[in-house]
Copies of this chain bind each other. A is one copy, B any other.
Amino acid sequence: MLRPEDVIGILRERGEIWDTAPGLVGLRGPARELMERIALSLAGLAREETADEWNVPAGIDFSTLERAQYFASFPQWLTAASHLSDDQSVLEGIAGSDSPAAAARNAMDRPNAALSPAVCYHTYERLAGHRVTSPTLMTAESVCWRHEGNRLAPLERGWAFRMREIVCLGTAADVEGFRQRWIIRSSAFAESLGLTVEIVQANDPFFAPTARGKAALQRIKALKHELIVRFPDGRPLAIASFNNHEHFFGEAFGFSLESGEIAASGCVAFGIERWLLAVLAAHGVDHATTELGWRTNTPDTIGAGLR
């Protein structure tokens, strides 16, 4: 198992990874292709559970996050999409400025939408007020945004990152059965990629200095496990999480079972860049694709001009 900084160092040197801002990375070459293969495999795995795949919108309404008690739970992560004022004189001032980037950064309107912090909020929003059969399942992959300040690290913790989720709504038993099934299925998939994994109990990093935050934390009582790999220094990297939110979102969004009872919900989430990092660290940057028996379409050499 390589250290993550060694993996990133090799990829950087080859021009296969780069950043445009802290936490925003690009990929090309064999590493990119490997990530796409992993993403496709996870999509295939999700389809064994459900054919209902969504392309969720790139952003989400602030009111949906408020309803989910997101601001009491994880305000530190919130990222939003802002645009410039429609006011012609503001735009002219920026267009004519000698430092237009700085002028623009200072002239953003209040944001109209949040960037999705997770895929599953879209499911709760769409289901709000509806009755569902048990189990009701969906899956989606989407770019998610969580600002983690100076904890950001390439592939390991992105400001923007790709997440595959599978969401289950239904009876308490259906949701917990779904979660247990995915603990087993995800572990088997990780092992098929040559990863040595563990399942650990985990807690969401709730923001709890306020009474409201503590109350949300108490109420959500999420039963959470994570699938982790360990780097050589013993540090864990969570590559998937298995969450049972019980009736928290059913109550918040008013979705119920056909019996009229509030529905339970749970979700399974895979951080796709982290799977790439785990596979590269386990097999080495040069051999991951061949050891997995995957062929690559990408030319081995990346044009020097593009390094």
Contacts and interface: CB of A to CB of B under 8 A. Distances in A.
B209 A59 contact: no
Given A20-B125, A27-B55, 15 more contacts: A21-B57, A24-B57, A26-B126, A32-B53, A32-B55, A51-B298, A62-B104, A63-B101, A75-B84, A80-B83, A83-B147, A91-B207, A92-B210, A95-B212, A132-B303
A58 B158 CA distance: 10
A60 interface: yes
B81 A95 contact: no
A55 B72 contact: no
From DSSP, what is the main secondary structure of chain A's interface residues? mixed
A294 to B, nearest CB: 16
B52 A299 contact: yes
A126 B306 contact: yes
Contact of A51 (B59, B82, B131, B297): B297
A207 B95 contact: yes
A81 B81 contact: yes
A157 to B, nearest CB: 14
A96 interface: yes
Interface in A253-307: 255, 297-299, 302-307
5 contacts: A20-B57, A24-B59, A51-B297, A72-B95, A106-B110
Contacts of A88: 209
A37 interface: no
Number of copies: 2
B95 A58 contact: no
Contact of A59 (B20, B125, B302): B20
Interface in A20-75: 20-22, 24-28, 32-33, 35-36, 47, 51-66, 71-72, 75
A180 interface: no
A203 interface: no
A64 B61 CA distance: 29
A127 interface: yes
Nearest to A72: B95
A227 interface: no
A200 B55 CA distance: 32
A273 B70 CA distance: 30
A92 to B, nearest CB: 5
A168 interface: no
